[in-house]
């Protein structure tokens, strides 16, 4: 197999059809189909299930995709490391929701102004998804709460963050987890680090939450808390930028348990010109903030 085959395979997996992949790669559909069949013959397995005009990646294809993405990323890194190129091409970034909404928009704007040849591709989701995306090669880097806890990840701290407990205005004051043991809470999915922090806060005070409702957005969470339907833990920076912030009381967690840092992380040994430019830009921002 060669890099072209891997690029074709990864594009078809992302687009879900030969026609869409052909348009993106500026090739004819028959060429794309031939490349995929040749790769499947070489590997001795089906990478896709065919269904009319759509292709659905198989379990074997999903496994192979993680390796293909890593190989393509490593090849691009090797090319940039010896060519002395300026940052260019696609730079796939991941970010947890709150950081994407509040912290990084001005950073991405400055990056685009400085490096217009780079195509920024940003995806958001829970921290667990971001970690998995970096390890599989889907993201070149991601903004996640840190420090890194996986041996294959590296990174730098870039933002200070504080999590606050929010409750409706008519809710009695909250000083500790036992004050709200058994209460309904709103949170993201189980692979969200902020949810784990919330659950650990209860456990350390020998308390337990009641029903946990999984939500998809901070705005939805705030609306439920404002209505008195339950409580939630959200980043203070996110709350400060939400229109409904005056509809709730915010309480810090005792013993500074809610204070943490957001890191820009990446796989060890897989830095690139695009990534280094982002690290340098964030370092300049931090230095300017201290002046």
Three-class SS state of 16:
coil
Q: Give the tens place of pLDDT for each residue, 193-229.
A: 899 999 999 999 999 999 999 998 999 999 999 999 9
Higher pLDDT, 39 or 81: 39
Label residues 246-271 b or e (16+ Cβ within 10 Å = b): eebbebebeeeebebebbbbbbeebb
pLDDT in tens, 61-97: 999 998 998 888 888 777 765 555 678 888 999 999 9
pLDDT of the residue at 288: 57
What beta strand segments (E) does the chain contain? 48-51, 54-57, 89-95, 118-124, 141-145, 153-168, 185-187, 212-214, 231-235, 248-252, 259-267
Q: pLDDT tens-digit profile of 228-254? A: 999 999 999 999 999 989 999 999 998
Report pTM: 0.71
- The Cα–Cα gap between 86 and 80 comes to 8
Q: What percent of the chain has pLDDT over 70?
A: 95
Angle at CA 151, nearest 5°, toward 122 and 197?
65
Alpha helical stretches, state H, 154-291: 193-204, 218-226, 236-240, 273-290
Residue for token pair 């709200």: 180
Average pLDDT over residues 257-280: 91
pLDDT digits (tens, 9 = 90+) for 116-138: 988 899 999 999 999 999 998 88
pLDDT at position 89: 83
pLDDT at 289: 56
Q: In the prediction, which pLDDT does 291 show?
A: 44
């Amino acid at each position: 197999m060669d890099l072209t085959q891997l690029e074709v395979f990864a594009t078809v997996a992302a687009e879900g059809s030969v026609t869409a992949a052909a348009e993106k790669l500026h090739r004819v559909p028959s060429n794309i189909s031939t490349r995929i069949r040749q790769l499947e013959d070489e590997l001795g397995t089906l990478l896709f299930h065919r269904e009319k005009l759509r292709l659905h990646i198989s379990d074997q294809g999903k496994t192979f995709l993680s390796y293909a993405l890593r190989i393509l990323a490593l090849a691009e890194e090797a090319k940039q490391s010896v060519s002395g190129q300026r940052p260019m091409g696609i730079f796939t970034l991941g970010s947890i929701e709150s950081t994407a909404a509040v912290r990084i928009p001005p950073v991405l704007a400055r990056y685009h102004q400085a490096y217009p040849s780079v195509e920024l591709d940003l995806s958001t989701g829970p921290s667990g998804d971001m970690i998995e995306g970096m390890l599989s090669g889907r993201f070149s880097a991601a903004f996640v709460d840190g420090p890194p806890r996986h041996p294959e990840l590296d990174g730098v701290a870039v933002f200070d963050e504080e999590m606050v407990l929010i409750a409706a205005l008519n809710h009695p004051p909250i000083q500790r987890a036992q004050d709200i043991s058994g209460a309904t809470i709103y949170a993201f999915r189980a692979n969200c680090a902020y949810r784990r922090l919330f659950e650990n806060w209860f456990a350390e005070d020998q308390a337990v939450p009641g029903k946990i409702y999984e939500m998809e957005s901070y705005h939805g969470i705030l609306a439920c808390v404002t209505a008195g339907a339950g409580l939630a833990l959200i980043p203070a920076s996110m709350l400060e930028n939400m229109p409904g912030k005056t509809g709730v009381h915010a309480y810090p967690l005792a013993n500074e348990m809610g204070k943490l840092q957001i890191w820009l992380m990446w796989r060890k040994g897989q830095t690139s010109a695009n990534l280094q430019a982002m690290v340098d830009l964030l370092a300049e921002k931090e230095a300017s903030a201290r002046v």
